[in-house]
Structure 1
Amino acid sequence: MFVKVCGLSTPESVREAVKAGADAVGFVLTASPRVVSPGQVSSLLAEVPAGVSPIGVFRHEPVADAVAIARAAGLEWIQLHGQRTREDVATVHDAGMKLIRAVTMGAAPEEFEDWGEDLLLIDAAVPGSGEAWDYSSMAGLPVLQGRHWLLAGGLDPKNVGQATAVAHAWGVDVSSGVEASRGVKDLARIRAFVHAAKSDATV
């Protein structure tokens, strides 16, 4: 089970995610209670070893701006939320970067198709809200068969095992589910989430 812990902003939280076994760590570079600057990300990258992917998260920024900001932060991965196009995917790859394209569970059917992104992320209707949703609605969708995709939205240490089992997800992404308060990570919850996701993995 691939696990990404997102919205990290301190060396301690990055170290805890890495130590727990996270495969990727996310840094929010868009308006959010979890926002960090490119300079902060550059410093936090010192805590990310080889084999763990650091990812810059963007919402409504034009793709060219996201690429420039991610590059300034020293990142090679971008996660794009909001209304995106196949051309945006090509722009990220043309820049020599990898892409997680995020869609919400109620998106139009064509948005779930393979646009050439490296990973697809399927989120709750309101990304970042921490609200759980019907994860089982993703199970068995032909468009997802054989693809690497991440489940997100409302996940926490207690429900991640069941959620991934019913959704048949390849990986998970968590942020609010491992926080003590909005924007403040809880190290024990990070550790518990990664362990639960890895130990309960059924796919």
Structure 2
Amino acid sequence: MSDLFVKICGLRTERAVDAAVEAGADAVGFVFAASPRTVDAETARRLALRVPEHVLTVGVFRGQPVDEVRRLTEESGIRAVQLHGDEGPEYYTALRAPGRTLIRATAATEVPVRCGELDEDMLLLDAPDPGSGKPWNWASPGFTAPDGRWLLAGGLHPDNVRRAVEATGAWGVDVSSGVESERGVKSEQLIRAFVAAARK
């Protein structure tokens, strides 16, 4: 079994959180940006309390004011912040805190990016239309894998995740729509299948 880092994102229910943890996910994500998967701080806090210490709890934000990001992070008690917009280095400086992991999510392009350029701890490369479930061409000859701790996302599901990891050499993977039975509704069976397939 590989030591690939696996994040299951867009969780909204106790059963989905429990399924992700029991399947062996390394991180679970709660979406605070506008999405069919959005949760409020109270819900995220309740769900995060179910998560053991060794599993990272992540809040996903997109284009929100830094004060709002900080407030929701503190109110929910999550341990990592994922910024999924055009946030500049000032966001990462303002949100840096002891014990907090910062994740920069960006659309994959043929222009190489480097983990740590904005003082983030992890880099997430996503499809141009994040959250859509549409894959991007991660097998393109023009794709250059970043150095360091980076996660592959965008259109992944149990049937293609292992192939994607082998093609890109990703340090980790992130999935949301690829483990849903319908938009915004997680499938416990697909969560288990995704984690198992990713770590074959």
| TM-score using structure 1 length | 0.90
Task: Give the conservation status (yes or no) of the 8 Å contact 2:109–2:143.
Answer: no
Pair 1:138–1:89, CA change in 2 (3 A)? farther
Give the equivalent residue in structure 2 for 1:133: 136
1:91 is the counterpart of 2:94: yes
Give the equivalent residue in structure 2 for 1:32: 35
Task: Give the conservation status (yes or no) of the 8 Å contact 2:8–2:25.
Answer: yes
The within-5 A match list for 1:66-81 is 66-81=69-84
Q: Counterpart of 2:105 in 1: which secondary structure?
A: strand
Q: Counterpart of 1:114 in 2: which secondary structure?
A: coil
Letter of the 1:44 partner, please give it. L
Task: Give the conservation status (yes or no) of the 8 Å contact 2:115–2:150.
Answer: no
1:49 is the counterpart of 2:49: no
2:12 aligns with one of 6, 9, 16: 9
Name the structure where helix makes up a greater proportion of residues.
1
d(CA) in 1 for partners of 2:101, 2:174 = 17
Letter of the 1:7 partner, please give it. G
List alignment gaps of at least 5 residues for structure 1. none
1:63 aligns with one of 48, 63, 66: 66
List alignment gaps of at least 5 residues for structure 2. none
| CA offset digits 1:10-37 (Å, max 9, x no partner) | 0000000000000000001121100111
Give the equivalent residue in structure 2 for 1:168: 169
Pair 1:82–1:177, CA change in 2 (3 A)? same
Task: Give the conservation status (yes or no) of the 8 Å contact 1:151–1:173.
Answer: yes
Q: Counterpart of 1:136 in 2: which secondary structure?
A: coil
Instruction: Give the number of equivalent residue pairs.
Output: 197
Pair 1:137–1:93, CA change in 2 (3 A)? farther
d(CA) in 2 for partners of 1:188, 1:95 = 36
Letter of the 1:187 partner, please give it. E
Moved over 4 A (4+): 107-113
d(CA) in 2 for partners of 1:8, 1:156 = 16
Task: Give the conservation status (yes or no) of the 8 Å contact 1:7–1:35.
Answer: yes
d(CA) in 1 for partners of 2:116, 2:57 = 25
Pair 1:98–1:80, CA change in 2 (3 A)? same
Give the equivalent residue in structure 2 for 1:116: 119
Task: Give the conservation status (yes or no) of the 8 Å contact 2:135–2:156.
Answer: yes
Q: Counterpart of 1:3 in 2: which secondary structure?
A: strand
Deviation at 1:95, TM superposition (A): 7.3
Give the equivalent residue in structure 1 for 2:149: 148
Q: Counterpart of 1:135 in 2: which secondary structure?
A: coil
Letter of the 2:106 partner, please give it. V
| CA offset digits 1:41-65 (Å, max 9, x no partner) | 1111222011000101111102221
Deviation at 1:94, TM superposition (A): 4.6
Q: CA RMSD in A?
A: 2.0
d(CA) in 2 for partners of 1:151, 1:110 = 13
| TM-score using structure 2 length | 0.92
Deviation at 1:112, TM superposition (A): 6.4
